């Protein structure tokens, strides 16, 4: 982990860069695979599954037998943990439901907005290096609450052509039935284009590596919406003298173990804290089963000392982290100066793992600086907002003349006439 002391502000943008692959080279690969899937459908998807996942499978959809037997392989303690997390996630996302409010903008003119579910959604669940079953809850539960008619889940199989039973059990628990053994670019391509087995969807959700992110971006060229360009995971921790170095080290490692292309950042105005965190990282690394992955991620990560905590937040707003942890007893006093972050964790006991699993907030969040202009997944992500208006006779009389003047100024005669014929009819009576 690189240690940087008081870098000048003109270097902050450079220090905020993520270790990303060249998008042009990624997009070339993605477009080639998409074109192949468009032509050859299931055959192409199966071929790429053999190539990239080293899995020999003959059918893409999870069988009913595999679906049903998953429950028998899960320990009761884990089942109970999944149920607790599901309840909290459901409770938080149910709280996001909005009632329609009718607004009378002028006398006799009524406007309102209503939500309608997106009919077909695809959820992509990473599973190559770790079975991220928590993401199934994060995406499937709000999709169910929103009322999406079809939820299509894709996740990569292991080398034996199987999906981890925890993934299947979690999907079953929240009512997802259409599960396909496909990951990576080929999964996004199948969801965007449709194949004999995998339905084409209206919107694609889910995190992934840089190949998946590039595929999601290109899927938009085919008229498919996406949740956000969510790529490799990242966390930024702001620490002061009241923080706990052992806690911070654990939080940084919890993100570093996601993948070699993950990034973690520590900001502090106290060099002693930085040094103690770095030492604690070394001590904790030895116990991690995924320490090689974490070590690779730490090579692209930084511990930066700045002049003040206020400067730390200024840097954080430039970086726009996916996860922002304020490791301080005074964390709440800084909330008003946060401008860009996917999800914020307040105080020394609000570990990022809580948001990943069971606090109730959604962990599908914008990365790579997209927190400057994207929100994390929420109930709103699974619905469309349709506006309605009702203009009564009184209403058209009130706003009609203004519409006529504006339409005439824009030289749109038919627009003006649509109002004029109504006003004429009213005045004839």
Mind listing the pLDDT tens digit for each residue in 77-119?
999 999 999 999 999 999 999 999 999 999 999 999 999 999 9
> Is residue 347's pLDDT more than 90?
yes
Question: Would you state the pLDDT for residue 229?
Answer: 82
Q: Where in the chain is the domain with CATH 1.20.5.1300?
A: 392-428
> Is residue 128's pLDDT more than 70?
no
* Residue 129 banded pLDDT, cuts 50, 70, 90: low
Is 347 within 8 Å of 359 (Cβ atoms)?
no
* Residue 340 banded pLDDT, cuts 50, 70, 90: very high
Answer positive or negative: Cα dihedral of 189, 192, 193, 195: positive
pLDDT digits (tens, 9 = 90+) for 296-321: 999 989 999 999 999 999 999 999 99
Question: Would you state the pLDDT for residue 232?
Answer: 82
pLDDT digits (tens, 9 = 90+) for 252-289: 999 999 888 899 999 999 999 999 999 999 999 988 99
Question: Would you state the pLDDT for residue 230?
Answer: 76
- Greatest mean pLDDT among 22-26, 71-75, 404-408: 404-408
Question: Would you state the pLDDT for residue 263?
Answer: 93
What order do you get walking across the sheet with 203-205 strand by strand?
178-181, 150-155, 120-124, 203-205, 225-226
Average pLDDT, the chain: 95
Q: Encode burial over 205-239: b for 16+ CB neighbours within 10 A, e otherwise.
A: bbbbbbbbbbbbbbbeeeebbbbbbbbbbbbbbbb
SS (H, E, C) the chain: CEEEECCCHHHHHHHCCCCCCCHHHHHHHHHHHHHHHHHHCHHHHHHHHHHHHCCCCCCCECCHHHHHHHHHHCCHHHHHHHHHHHHHHHHHHHCCCCCCCCEEEECCEEEEEEEEECCEEEEECCCCCCCCHHHHHHHHHHHHHHCCCEEEEEECCCCCCCCCHHHHHHHHHCCCCEEEECCHHHHHHHHHHCCCCCCCCCEEECCCCHHHHHHHHHHHHHCCEECCCCCCCEEEEEECCCCCHHHHHHHHHHHHCCCCCCEEEEEECCHHHHHHHHHHHHHHHCCCCCHHHHHHHHCCCEEEECCCHHHHHHHHHHHCCCEEEEECCCHHHHHHHCCCCCEEEECCCCCHHHHHHCCCCCCCCCCCCHHHCCCCCCHHHHEEEEEEEEECHHHHHHHHHHHHHHHHHCCCHHHHHHHHHHHHHHHHC
Question: Phi and psi (nearest 5°) for 323?
Answer: -120, 130
Question: Would you state the pLDDT for residue 371?
Answer: 96
The structural architecture, per CATH, of the domain 23-103+117-227 is: 3-Layer(aba) Sandwich (3.40)
* pLDDT, average across residues 40-61: 95
Percentage of the chain with pLDDT > 70? 99
Q: What is the CATH number of domain 392-428?
A: 1.20.5.1300
pTM over 0.85? The answer is yes
> Is residue 21's pLDDT more than 80?
no
Is 338 within 8 Å of 324 (Cβ atoms)?
yes
**Residue among 322, 394, 408, 428 flagged as catalytic:** 322
pLDDT digits (tens, 9 = 90+) for 206-242: 988 889 989 999 999 999 999 998 778 899 999 999 9
Lowest mean pLDDT among 55-64, 121-130, 140-149: 121-130
Class of domain 2-19+232-360: alpha beta
Q: Where in the chain is the domain with CATH 3.40.50.1980?
A: 2-19+232-360, 23-103+117-227
Residue 45 CA: distances (Å) to CA of 33, 52, 64, 77, 360: 9, 10, 21, 36, 35
Lowest mean pLDDT among 127-136, 137-146, 399-408: 127-136
Other CB atoms within a 10 A radius of the CB of residue 315 amount to 20
- 322 catalytic? Reply is yes
**Residue among 323, 404, 408, 410 flagged as catalytic:** 323
* pLDDT, average across residues 1-5: 95
């Amino acid at each position: 982990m690189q240690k940087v002391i008081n870098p000048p502000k003109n270097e902050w943008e450079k220090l905020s860069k993520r270790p990303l692959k060249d998008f042009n080279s990624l997009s070339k690969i993605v477009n080639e695979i998409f074109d192949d899937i468009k032509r050859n459908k299931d055959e192409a998807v199966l071929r790429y599954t053999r190539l990239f996942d080293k899995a020999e499978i003959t059918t893409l959809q999870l069988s009913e037998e595999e679906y049903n037997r998953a429950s028998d392989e899960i320990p009761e303690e884990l089942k109970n943990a999944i149920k607790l997390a599901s309840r909290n996630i459901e409770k938080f996302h149910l709280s996001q439901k909005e009632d329609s409010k009718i607004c009378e903008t002028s006398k006799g003119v009524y406007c309102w907005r209503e939500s309608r579910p997106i009919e077909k959604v695809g959820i992509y669940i990473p599973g190559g290096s770790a079975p991220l079953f928590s993401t199934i809850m994060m995406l499937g539960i709000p999709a169910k609450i929103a009322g999406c008619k079809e939820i299509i889940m894709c996740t990569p199989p292991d080398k034996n052509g199987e999906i981890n039973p925890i993934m299947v059990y979690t999907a079953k628990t929240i009512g997802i039935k259409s599960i396909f053994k496909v990951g990576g670019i080929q999964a996004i391509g199948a969801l965007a284009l449709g194949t004999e087995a995998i339905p084409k969807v209206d919107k694609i959700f889910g995190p992934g590596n840089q190949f998946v992110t590039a595929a999601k971006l290109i899927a938009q060229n085919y008229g498919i919406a996406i949740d956000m360009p969510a790529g490799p995971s990242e966390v930024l921790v702001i620490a002061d003298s009241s923080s706990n170095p052992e806690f911070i080290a654990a939080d940084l490692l919890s993100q570093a173990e996601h993948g070699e292309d993950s990034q973690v950042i520590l900001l502090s105005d106290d060099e002693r804290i930085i040094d103690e965190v770095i030492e604690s990282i070394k001590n904790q690394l030895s116990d991690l089963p995924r320490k090689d992955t974490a070590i690779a991620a730490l090579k692209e990560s930084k511990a930066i000392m700045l002049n003040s905590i206020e400067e730390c937040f200024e840097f954080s707003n430039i970086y726009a982290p996916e996860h922002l942890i304020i490791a301080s007893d005074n964390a709440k006093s800084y909330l008003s100066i946060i401008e860009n972050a996917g999800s914020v964790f307040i105080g020394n006991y609000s570990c990022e793992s809580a948001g990943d699993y069971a606090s109730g907030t959604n962990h599908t969040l914008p990365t790579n600086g997209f927190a400057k202009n994207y929100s994390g997944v929420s109930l709103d992500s699974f619905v469309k907002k349709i506006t309605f208006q009702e203009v009564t006779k009184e209403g058209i009389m009130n706003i009609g003349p203004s519409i006529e003047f504006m339409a005439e100024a824009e030289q749109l005669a038919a627009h003006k006439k649509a109002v004029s014929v109504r006003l004429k009819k009213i005045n004839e009576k």
